[in-house]
Amino acid sequence: MTTQPLSTQSGAHDAGQLFPAGQLLPFALVTVLFFIWGMSNNLTDILVQQFRKSFELSPLEAQLVQTAVFFGYFCMALPAALAARRWGYKTSILLGLILFGTGTLMFWPAAVIGRYWLMLTALYFVGCGSATLETSANPFIAQTGPPESSARRLNFSQAFNPPGTIFGVLIGTFFIFSGVELPANRVAEMKAQGTYAAYLHGELMRVVPTYVCIGIGVLALAAIIAAVRFPGTRDEDSGMGHSVVREIFSLLSTAQVLGATVTQFFYCGAQVATWSAFIPYVKQYTSISERQAALFFLTGNLTMFFLGRVVSTAVMRWFHPSRMMALYAAINIFLVAIGVFLPGFVGAGALLLSSFFMSMMFPTIFALGVRDLGPRTKLASSLIVMSIVGAAIVPPILGLIAKHTGSYAIGYSVVAVCYVAVLIYGIRTSALSKGEV
């Protein structure tokens, strides 16, 4: 027996209605997922610095943390979409939570063994789980209500992502960072005494309690969601349709899906590169410690991101989302340029402010990409989530530039290039679409 689509269960909807009447519990539970993967994704920004210390890594090697996580997005997004099409959003979400929880629990044996590649493997599983959750949660939220308010509704749920990122950074700052930064002469002394390896292993083991607790919490949430009845959505009665390969090529032949997929690649690369290199940037050009950098500057980025999401969701009621996005991208090109040419507290402040203007880009690109696709929504969603692999590619490029130039500021030039792509997409989409999204 099929479930009646949510959009028809409550009768006619007003175009301005934001929340799905009668289905607030599943809506709220799925919105919690935005908080969870936000917390996890920004804990990786802490891990970049912590693993760089624990394993004595180069800037490029440290950025492989982001590559491991977001390569999982690339590998798992399409299987997640197929699972959602075959068994529904609820099953796909449960699969994502199990993968996510498994990855976090893998941190314990990986840290005990003390091998960087095992840590990257655990992060890959976390990335696969996050990809499954995003592939399912984003279209679920977009579809649980009138299409006219899909961008606003998705921005609302995405507004719970920044508090998760802030919470993740605070956890990492106080429970992963030890606050111990040894001078070169002390390191040489400990190496001579044979105690330095034990110190590095102790620093590595600091990641275990945090990730084990997250894993337990995620699996507990999976148990709760398993007990809750989820509504159908507008496309669940459509069946599998044509072959997947043919559908993928059909979707990518449309400007709507192709444009959103390519732009999301550049946006995600810009966001993750900005945050993952922020602590090393601040440490290179100022005299503050890594804990201070994480607490005041990186947390400041995430606070600005949250404020930007809240303000943009409200303003979007009167301004077209694509026009706002084009304006925000232009502002961020300018702000990142300040970070490149004026490294130090001024540049760090400009990069911090850029987080406000990047805030509405992901959900807006996503909503524009899947709007009015009906039974093809899940597959289009997976293509856009796969493009998050940009976050696996751009940060190592930044790290490579920083390694060869000795300057994280110059490395940030790649972020400015990414925002040029977002600006072009925003201008083009605004010209093609005149209605509200």
* Residue 7 covered by a domain: no
Quick one: pLDDT band at residue 371, thresholds 50, 70, 90? confident
Whether the per-residue pLDDT at 148 is higher than 90: the answer is no
| b/e map 277-288, b = 16+ CB within 10 Å | bbbbbbbebbeb
Stretch 341-367: mean pLDDT, rounded? Answer: 93
- Tens digit of each residue's pLDDT (9 = 90 or more) over 88-123: 889 999 999 999 999 999 999 999 999 999 999 999
* Residue 201 covered by a domain: yes
Range of the domain at 239: 22-432
Helix (H, G, I), strand (E, B) or coil at 5: strand
Neighbouring C-alpha atoms within 13 Å toward the C-beta of 191: 7
In whole angstroms, give the CA distance from residue 100 to residue 137: 14
In whole angstroms, give the CA distance from residue 399 to residue 218: 32
pTM of the model: 0.75
In CATH, what number is assigned to the domain containing residue 213? 1.20.1250.20
* Residue 387 covered by a domain: yes
* Residue 297 covered by a domain: yes
* Residue 380 covered by a domain: yes
- Tens digit of each residue's pLDDT (9 = 90 or more) over 151-198: 677 778 878 887 888 888 888 888 888 877 788 888 889 988 989 889
- Tens digit of each residue's pLDDT (9 = 90 or more) over 209-259: 999 999 999 999 999 999 998 876 544 444 444 577 788 888 888 888 999
* Residue 351 covered by a domain: yes
Q: How many CB atoms lie within 10 A of CB 14?
A: 9
Look at the block and give the residue holding tokens 């002390």.
186
Whether the per-residue pLDDT at 149 is higher than 80: the answer is no
Tally of structural domains, the chain: 1
* Residue 15 covered by a domain: no
Quick one: pLDDT band at residue 262, thresholds 50, 70, 90? very high
* Residue 144 covered by a domain: yes
Say if CB 133 and CB 100 are below 8 A apart: yes
Whether the per-residue pLDDT at 20 is higher than 70: the answer is no
For residue 73, CA distances in Å to 216, 228, 265, 382 come to: 22, 26, 11, 9
Say if CB 251 and CB 383 are below 8 A apart: yes
